[in-house]
Amino acid sequence: MTSATEKQREATVRIPVVDAPRRDRWWIAPLATVLVLCAFVVYGLWVTFSNDNYYARPYLSPFYSPCLAANCEHHTWTIVGDWWTLSPALLVLPIPLGFRLTCYYYRKAYYRAFFWSPPACAVPDARSRYTGESRFPLILQNVHRYFFYLVVPFPFILLWDAIRAFDFPNGLGMGLGTLILLVNAGLLGAYVLSCHSCRHLCGGRLDVLSRSPRRYRAWRFVSVLNERHMLIAWVSLVSVALADVYIRLIATDVIRDPRFF
Ligand code: FES
């Protein structure tokens, strides 16, 4: 028999079921996610496999950075010898790709947009059962923190590319491409710093933050960025694509790079 206290507890936690479907335009966000992510994936695959026009001196496309193979048009470090004949982008792509794919924010976005799991708040799930990320294969998303460790050098490498982008054939200078690469490196740095794993690294496992003032300051700083993680994730994604487009247009002589000095 159910006691009066248990009945009372049940009544307290029962969530009212609202049958009326949502009438607002909840589908705009998942639709936009599908369109932008599909566009980025198609463009990214084309750029990766095209293996040309990714360097217009002194600019190196972020898709090909760091360029590690002997067949690179512009080497960052030559680590892989002549035996590598495929696109050099394939050597580095798995790290930033894995980082973005397992990102907590993107997971939410593409689960909603592609799997309808669920498509939006108060909109029914496309499947009758929901196991979350507790089973294979989605349990593998937990590797995100390791991708975080692997991706940490990337903003510094992109910054190095941006610094090298001051080195023109006729001497030191600065063009619009230099500025684009600097902004892109900054945005990727902000994306990495705003990562939830980064926030956990700064302030996680601390019971009393005041006893670790440095970690507390780092955690506060990272938390400010973390609150804007969604925005930074999108802006940095678009920035990578735009930087590549710009360099590709210069490399193919479609546009000229304006010089500031
Ligand atoms: Fe988005 Fe780590 S949570 S990059």
pLDDT in tens, 80-128: 888 988 999 999 999 999 999 999 998 988 888 888 888 888 888 877 7
What local confidence, expressed as pLDDT, does residue 9 receive? 56
Alpha helices in the chain (DSSP H): 4-13, 28-50, 89-92, 94-101, 104-110, 144-151, 153-164, 176-193, 196-203, 213-226, 229-251
What global pTM score does this model have?
0.87
Per-residue confidence at 255, pLDDT binned at 50, 70, 90?
A: very high
Report the percentage of the chain scoring pLDDT > 70: 93
Q: What is the pLDDT of residues 162-212, one digit of tens each?
A: 999 999 988 899 999 999 999 999 999 999 999 999 999 998 888 888 888
d(CA 198, CA 161): 24
- Ligand 1 centroid, distance to 148 Cα (angstroms): 8
pLDDT over threshold 60, residue 12: no
What local confidence, expressed as pLDDT, does residue 207 receive? 83
Cis peptide before 30 (omega within 30 of 0): no
Residue nearest to atom 1 of ligand 1 (CA): 103
Which atom of ligand 1 is closest in space to residue 198's alpha carbon? Answer: 2
Per-residue confidence at 1, pLDDT binned at 50, 70, 90?
A: very low
d(CA 224, CA 9): 38
Q: How far apart are the first and last CA of the chain?
A: 84
Which atom of ligand 1 is closest in space to residue 144's alpha carbon? Answer: 2
Mutate to test the pocket of ligand 1, among 133, 147, 197, 230 (most ligand atoms within 8 A of CB): 197
Mutate to test the pocket of ligand 1, among 104, 111, 225 (most ligand atoms within 8 A of CB): 104
Q: What is the mean pLDDT of residues 148-168?
A: 95
Which atom of ligand 1 is closest in space to residue 195's alpha carbon? Answer: 2
Which atom of ligand 1 is closest in space to residue 191's alpha carbon? Answer: 4
pLDDT over threshold 80, residue 3: no
C-beta atoms surrounding 5 within 10 Å = 8
d(CA 99, CA 149): 10
Tokens of 167: 């080195």
The answer for residues whose C-beta is within 8 angstroms of residue 259's C-beta and 6 or more apart is 168, 173, 174, 175
Q: What is the mean pLDDT of residues 4-27?
A: 64
Whether 129 contacts 149, CB under 8 Å = no
Ligand 1 neighbours, Cβ below 6 Å, are 103-105, 144, 148, 195-197, 229
Whether 74 contacts 55, CB under 8 Å = yes
